[in-house]
Copies of this chain bind each other. A is one copy, B any other.
Amino acid sequence: MNETTPSETAVREGDPPGNDGTEKAEARRSPRPLTAAAVPRLHRPPPGTPAGIEYHELTRAPGLTPARVVCIDYCQERAEVQEVADIAAFLATHRPTWSRVRWIHVEGLEDHTSIRALAEKYQLHPLAIEDTLDGQQRPKADDYPGSGEIPGRLFVVARRVRGTESGPRAEQVTFFLGRNTLLSFQPTPSPAMDGLRRRIASPRSRLREHDVSFLLYALLDDIVNRFFPLLEEISQRLETVEDEVLVAADRGSLQTVHRIKRDLVLLRRVAWPMRELVTQLQREPHECLSEVAQTYFRDLYDDCVQVIDLIETYREIASAVADTYVSLISNRTNDIMKVLTIIGTIFIPLTFLAGVYGMNMFIPENEWPYSYGVFWVVCIVIAGFMLWRFRRGGWL
């Protein structure tokens, strides 16, 4: 799978500087520096480019990466899947009369032929087409009300997260919901769609009982549920690093906490507008949304709230871990410095004393026979007194 598809929020990874073998000893003291996660960016056409993409502007040839188009028709009794090879021929034929719901799913947005054909057939709005191809939109739901011959459409942008080695990535999935038809577009193939196709194929599936807006619900439900494995994994990393910090607290832990925080920032950027999107779908009545679907969107809303609740809780815990790390490191350094300074402080006066008796002037004590033994006794007494004093003052 191509990790840098332009339709994903780019999150690259700076390569950590190589440590060659001779540096090992030093590396123990100053560990591998934190690697920088890339800063999220938007790639926009230059200012002055007009907004919206008209049908005639959809000209990129299928040579690049041909899109895969799958059409599913179903009603309670029957379901049929077809892989569409010739989009023009497919759109020219009428849809079967028994079909209650038609779902046309497009994977791959590089080839404009099929998008143009669908856009012309279903009269999609230029702004919606632009958002579909842009791949960097925030999740949202826009209503394009019908007028006269053009039927009303609900245009929904969602983002599906998945974990990669360099952190979470979010891929844009867009939906055009009509009264009986759902168009969905995504840039890369995804196993999620196969799961749904299997569920539709099963005659006992609840999907078969309901209308097209319930299908939209099922697709969004799948997208929201993608958050949970990522959060599960982050919670494990968080637990591990918390244990690490409390036991050993080396600088690698700080790196891990920073990485976790960054991942949570990225997830949060997706989760909040997803929640707004679901709130809107749940609350605002729309001609294309059935009442049953809205009941289910309420359930999805609860999931979104839990996702955000977990993200915020993890952020709080990550901050607490970072604080604990800093305060433990600083406590430890302080303790070490204290002990070392105490050792120094005990010996400095003794060294002075030894220096005195090394002076080349006439010193009566130097003439006494047992002065050397007395000297050691005095030294031990002084050191002992200082140690006792430091301990009593709680300095040790």
Contacts and interface: CB of A to CB of B under 8 A. Distances in A.
B341 A138 contact: no
Contact of A309 (B35, B50, B144, B269): B269
Given A47-B226, A345-B343, A313 B269 contact: yes
A334 B335 CA distance: 11
Contacts of A283: none
A195 B299 contact: no
Interface stretch (A70-78, A89-97, A167-175, A348-356): A348-356
Contacts of A324: 34, 258
A166 interface: no
- What bracket does the count of chain A residues touching chain B fall in? 35 or more
Nearest to A344: B348
Nearest to A52: B206
Contact of A261 (B33, B320, B332): B320
A64 interface: no
B340 A345 contact: yes
A118 interface: no
A34 to B, nearest CB: 5
Contact of A355 (B313, B314, B351, B396): B351
Count of this chain's copies in the oligomeric assembly = 5
Chain A contact surface mostly: helix
Interface string A232-247: 1001001100110011
A388 interface: no
Given A314-B39, A348-B347, A48 B195 contact: yes
A30 interface: yes
Contacts of A329: 331, 334
Given A269-B313, A329-B331, A351-B355, 13 more contacts: A44-B228, A48-B192, A251-B331, A258-B320, A265-B313, A326-B327, A336-B395, A343-B349, A344-B344, A348-B348, A352-B354, A354-B359, A357-B359
Interface in A297-313: 298-300, 302, 305-306, 309-310, 313
A363 interface: yes
11 contacts: A14-B243, A39-B239, A39-B314, A42-B231, A126-B206, A127-B296, A348-B348, A351-B352, A359-B366, A360-B360, A362-B366
A50 to B, nearest CB: 6
Contact of A138 (B199, B305, B314, B348): B305
Contact of A362 (B33, B48, B369): B369
B344 A42 contact: no
